[in-house]
Amino acid sequence: MRLSRYFLPVLKETPAEAQIVSHRLMLRAGMIKQASAGIYSWLPLGFRVLERIQQIVHEEQERAGHVPLLMPTLQSADLWRESGRYDAYGEEMLRIKDRGGRDLLFSPTAEELITDIFRSYVKSYKDLPLTLYQIQWKFRDEIRPRFGVMRGREFLMKDGYNFDLTKEAALHAYNRHLVSYLRTYERMGLKAIPMRADSGPIGGEDTHEFLVLAETGESEVFYDSAVTDLTFGDRVIDYDSVEECAGVLEEFTSRYARTDETHDPALFDAIPEERRRTARGIEVGQIFYFGTKYSEPLGATVQDAEGNKVPVHMGSHGIGVSRLLGALIEANHDDKGIIWPEGVTPFHCGIVNLKQGDAAADAACENLYDQLRTAGLEPLYDDRDERAGAKFATMDLIGLPWRITVGPRGLKNGVVELTSRRTGESEEMAPEAAVQRIVGIYRDHP
Ligand SMILES: Nc1ncnc2c1ncn2[C@@H]1O[C@H](COP(=O)(O)OP(=O)(O)O)[C@@H](O)[C@H]1O
Ligand SMILES: [Mg+2]
């Protein structure tokens, strides 16, 4: 992409309405524009990151054997009456009437609709296990939408639903989700800690929330500092193996880590004092096991091996896809702007031409641009006729992890400058070497 042809409406002023840094930076970097309270347009730069995040979520869900589909945002109230949640859900549910006077709603979550799909087609235990998921917009009429995409009214969520014959099988699905979520967040460069939580209106027995530690987080959390040392890394896991998945759950959830909803001061005080931590966190995901809570009222049954009709055991599993942008920025920024982790960056690298119109500089930039694209990468080339300072400020604000700076002076010595956004360190090297370096970096960050 050439910046001269892109749409990147960066703001010079810090928007007064934004209370937290991620919201300020998303507005300043031209990523989102508020359409109405808690509802945003995703401008091109924000949209690119949203797509990167979705792609990682899809890849990790499919790796775990989960099957994508897409359900509508508008749903009939009838199904929600069947489950009893139409009245129970309260004011957060946006209710709409169509021209025939029929009650519709904008889906805040989709247990009912997915269970209806399941019961329409699946009749035998032989078709289990099955986990279906979607990435779709949700609407919750929050009283106090705030912090930009962190607590929106319209937001993008990955919601997955497992269907299993027995409680044991459904708990395996739960563990599988936990593992896939650990991988998902790590690929994004985020540390998200699974914490025991409260099940709220979805109901159920087992639930963990994934929290990113941040001062601006809405949840108060209590944990043993040992949990922050755990990483999933690049270990290979067999998602069909009950033991392997249970082992990961055990490893990542046996230490104390809870939100204020389930906090138990007596258990907390049993941790050695130097490891006790109280902090704030952003909830970026949640997994639930809720058994037959929906399959029973909605009649989602299968025939088991003995020919008995039994309700399936279910769980639901969410990732706050749009909220993740806010969480990522809260965790990765400095006073100049965003610092994207390689896994989610909107462009792999920036190219800054210090002297637009200089024949040698223009040619070198075009060359770099072509070579990076040929290598399968997406560079953002600042080819505008602007001062170097303004170009650097834009690149720092939008946070591309790598920048190649090209100027006539360096080119006389056959070099360009490669700069890391995170460390600020620069190195001079031949243009080909800079391309090789960047290609290598992204080979390690698939
Ligand atoms: N209002 C919102 N704005 C942005 N993301 C949200 C919002 N509500 C929930 N999410 C995200 O969707 C994920 C799954 O939703 P869920 O657990 O049902 O939400 P909650 O715990 O707020 O009821 C949450 O972990 C969170 O990351
Ligand atoms: Mg939740």
Quote the ligand 1 centre to 320 CA distance (angstroms). 6
Mutate to test the pocket of ligand 1, among 262, 286, 319 (most ligand atoms within 8 A of CB): 286
pLDDT, position 445? 74
Give the separation between CA 283 and CA 344, rounded to whole angstroms: 19
Reported as a pLDDT band with limits 50, 70 and 90, residue 446 is: low
pLDDT, position 205? 66
pLDDT, position 202? 54
Quote the ligand 1 centre to 246 CA distance (angstroms). 25
Quote the ligand 2 centre to 155 CA distance (angstroms). 13
Quote the ligand 1 centre to 39 CA distance (angstroms). 15
pLDDT, position 258? 95
Where do the domains of the chain lie?
Answer: 3-337, 347-443
pLDDT, position 203? 53
pLDDT digits over 127-142, tens only? 999 999 999 999 999 9
pLDDT digits over 387-404, tens only? 999 999 999 999 999 999
Ligand 1 atom 11: residue of nearest CA: 320
CATH 3.40.50.1220 correct for 347-443: no
Fold of 3-337: BirA Bifunctional Protein; domain 2 (3.30.930)
pLDDT digits over 272-318, tens only? 999 999 999 999 999 999 999 999 999 999 999 999 999 999 999 99
Give the separation between CA 262 and CA 136, rounded to whole angstroms: 29
Minimum mean pLDDT range among 48-52, 71-75, 258-262: 258-262
Mutate to test the pocket of ligand 1, among 283, 316, 325 (most ligand atoms within 8 A of CB): 283
Give the separation between CA 322 and CA 51, rounded to whole angstroms: 10
C-alpha distances in Å from residue 422, one per residue of 14, 35, 361, 401, 417: 22, 32, 26, 7, 15
Ligand 1 atom 18: residue of nearest CA: 318
User: What atom of ligand 1 comes closest to residue 157's alpha carbon?
Assistant: 12
Quote the ligand 2 centre to 317 CA distance (angstroms). 9
Reported as a pLDDT band with limits 50, 70 and 90, residue 249 is: very high
pLDDT, position 14? 86
% of the chain surpassing 90 pLDDT? 95
pLDDT, position 199? 65
Which residues, judged by CB distance below 6 Å to any ligand atom, belong to the binding site of ligand 1? 109, 140, 142, 151-152, 155, 157, 200, 283-286, 318, 320, 322-323
% of the chain surpassing 70 pLDDT? 98
pLDDT digits over 351-384, tens only? 999 999 999 999 999 999 999 999 999 999 999 9
pLDDT digits over 329-344, tens only? 999 999 999 999 999 9
User: What atom of ligand 1 comes closest to residue 197's alpha carbon?
Assistant: 21
pLDDT, position 206? 86
Which ligand number lies closest to the CA of residue 181?
1
Q: From the CB of residue 18, how many other CB atoms can be counted at a distance below 10 Å?
A: 18
Average pLDDT over residues 174-198: 96
Quote the ligand 1 centre to 358 CA distance (angstroms). 51
Give the separation between CA 219 and CA 405, rounded to whole angstroms: 42
pLDDT, position 444? 81
Average pLDDT over residues 146-159: 97
Average pLDDT over residues 233-262: 95
Alpha-carbon Rg for the chain, nearest whole angstrom, is 24
Q: Please check the confidence at residue 416 and state whether its pLDDT lies above 90.
A: yes
User: What atom of ligand 1 comes closest to residue 201's alpha carbon?
Assistant: 23
**Fold match, 3-337 / 347-443:** no
Q: How confident is the prediction for the chain on average, in pLDDT? A: 96
User: What atom of ligand 1 comes closest to residue 151's alpha carbon?
Assistant: 3
Q: Which residue is associated with the tokens 């892109």? A: 6
- What string of H, E and C letters represents the secondary structure of the chain? CEHHHCCCCCCCCCCCCCCCHHHHHHHHCCCEEEEECCEEEECHHHHHHHHHHHHHHHHHHHHCCCEECCCCCEEEHHHHHHHCHHHHCHHHCEEEECCCCCEEEECCCCHHHHHHHHHHHCCEHHHCCEEEEEEEEEECCCCCCECHHHECCEEEEEEEEEEECCHHHHHHHHHHHHHHHHHHHHHCCCCCEEEECCCHHHCCCEEEEEEEECCCCCEEEEEEHHHHHCCCCCCCCCCCCHHHHHHHHHHHHCCCEEECCCCCHHHHHCCCHHHEEEEEEEEEEEEEEEECCCHHHHCCEEECCCCCEEECEEEEEEEEHHHHHHHHHHHCEECCEECCCCCCCCCCEEEEECCCCCHHHHHHHHHHHHHHHHCCCCEEEECCCCCHHHHHHHHHHHCCCEEEEECHHHHHCCCEEEEECCCCCEEEECHHHHHHHHHHHHHCCC
Give the separation between CA 138 and CA 109, rounded to whole angstroms: 7
Ligand 1 atom 1: residue of nearest CA: 151
**Distance spanning both ends of the chain, measured CA to CA:** 21
Single-letter amino acid code for the residue at 277? R
C-alpha distances in Å from residue 183, one per residue of 58, 192, 233: 12, 10, 8
Average pLDDT over residues 22-36: 97
Ligand 1 atom 21: residue of nearest CA: 286
pLDDT digits over 187-235, tens only? 999 999 999 987 665 555 689 999 999 999 999 999 999 999 999 999 9
Q: Please check the confidence at residue 82 and state whether its pLDDT lies above 90.
A: yes
The number of angstroms, rounded, from the C-alpha of 237 to the middle of its chain's C-alpha atoms is: 21
